[in-house]
Structure 1
Amino acid sequence: MKLATLKDGSRDGQLVVVSRDLASAHYATGIAHRLQQVLDDWGYLSPQLQDLYDSLNAGRARHAFPFDPQHCLAPLPRAYQCLQASAYPHHAQLAQEAGAASVHGASTQEPLLEQLASDALQGPCEDIVAESAAMDIDAAAALAVVTGDVARASTAEQALEGVRLLMLASAVVLRGPQALERERGQGPLLSRPTTAFSPVAVTPDELGPAWAQGRVHLTVQTALNGRKLGLCEAGPDMGFHFGQLIAQACRTRALRAGSIVLAGPVSNPPVQDAQGRRDWPRGVGCLAEKRWIETLQGAKTLSPWLQSGDTLRIDMKGRDGLSLCGAIEQTVVPDGL
């Protein structure tokens, strides 16, 4: 099934069920008002939402209305916690090649987890606001899962059973000197504003065979001002699947229902010809990778970071060619820029 949260003036919004084609929706008021309620009592409430979802898709829901992502908050507007994992080793390897010291090294042994702000997560159409363009604004296309309760010391297989929902995410990063100076000595030399999420969260069964062994085998599409930035395959180059990421977080503590785990930036390695020349035919999932590639290719000027007025769009289509979670579409707006 597919779920979304509409703006209603409150912090947590109103839960709705969304049709498979994202064309219509129905309030879930008779079952639950908020998504967190459903996550807290998944076994009892999710079958009721599934029945409403089936009725909506069959055209039997009496009070359906057109679905508009512009009216959406993040599916889970505030979460108990939000973690980002370095699940794509190529991203860190590329950074190391290009001499980007502000990015942690890749590990083939265990994933690196970073705590993100989760008290006010952004909806799919909310603006990217930064104090200054000198902060070098970037946004990374990522996948995310929402968990149920997961016990401490769960195995990867046990942790994978705790995945309740899947979403797309746009993880905004401020990479410039101003941002770095503010976080000296505080772990990663990156500033992390709030993260934005797709309008719709989907249960893994909606992906069919594209959800396999804890990975999403679909293409993440990223565009900047209407021009392709990347068509990255999310599955084959994911070094650690979501079960492993969740299990890593549970090594020292349990996760509460409503925890979010991101995997990104989605990243694919280059192809190499007989002469050893490398090409990135899938593009990139963030501007940092684009600039690192340009650095390695000896470019005299690098692509700019996000600027005021730029629009970033992130989407992912299912095997049927339809958008799976709806698109994230954000505009950088002036705030001293």
Structure 2
Amino acid sequence: MSDLWDDLENFARAPSSFTAAPGERGTIKAKANFNVSEDVAALRKAIEGIGTTEKTLIDILTHRSSSQKQAISKAYEETTKRILVNDLKGETRGSLEDLLVELARPPAVNDAKWLNKAIKGAGTDTKILIEILASRTNKQIKELSAAYAEETKKTLMQKLKTEVSGDFGKAILLLAEGARDESTNVNADKAKEDAKALYQAGEKRLGTDESKFIEILCKRSIPHLRQTILEYKNISGKTLQKSIEKEISGDLEELLVAIVKCVMSTPAYFAEKLYNSMKGAGTDEKTLTRVMVSRGELDMLDIRAEFKKLYKNSLYKEISSDVSGSYGDGLKMICGGED
């Protein structure tokens, strides 16, 4: 799979979700002529009637922007004295329940809940930590941190400090601070310097200076890192991803590779995640749901384009052949169409 990531020139020009304005590249958009009370009435009818009308729930929750859905939730509670998310949980089951509940919640609250689940209990689900913290912008990280504190009464940083350690822990904490440089100017000389520093910290020496990789990949701006990745290939003859895979191992390797992929193309990173959640026997529905919901309003159009490029099949077809029933219908609605 990583040979797909070797085509750097193509990726360095790919759309970066870090620069897209919300709503521009998503499939879930604000509804024109939005009417809160009409939506609340329709949801009540679907939930309170005999047998839940899943089609109505899916239709409304996949065709309203996040802020519209928050307005619906508020009005729903004022009208019924009940909480919409709880009613959705009570009326649906399994993967469909997860999908509808996550669609109804603000994105930052979903991120906070996923992270909380990843670090609660015995052992830490590093895959979720990596996926969320490597792909979110500073603004998204600030919002999810606020939601996390509200949810758990602890700060995300406090909680992470007790859960992650070593070099992986250092990198995760840096990302969780949401302190990535945001300047858009790229200084080619500085990018060359960083590329050289990475080469000298890894390929060029015996043993690896992980701290150099962490500092550069977790702090520099996305445009700067794109340039650094191109410079790295000029200096070492190898892609940075290949060097990381050779020089570093375990969770830190996985995290740094995820950052490099998101720098080059966040949509391609998520296209690969979606593909892996569906390939082979059985479907990883939790990952499938999380990615579809979290990217639906942001960059699903770009994810679809990358998916088609990488796998020669449309995301829509892949979902159709992999999942069925109302859950499948909901995912196809978020996907938004055939390519």
TM-score interval for Structure 1 and Structure 2 normalised by the shorter chain? under 0.3
| TM-score of the two chains, using structure 2 as the length reference | 0.21
| TM-score of the two chains, using structure 1 as the length reference | 0.21
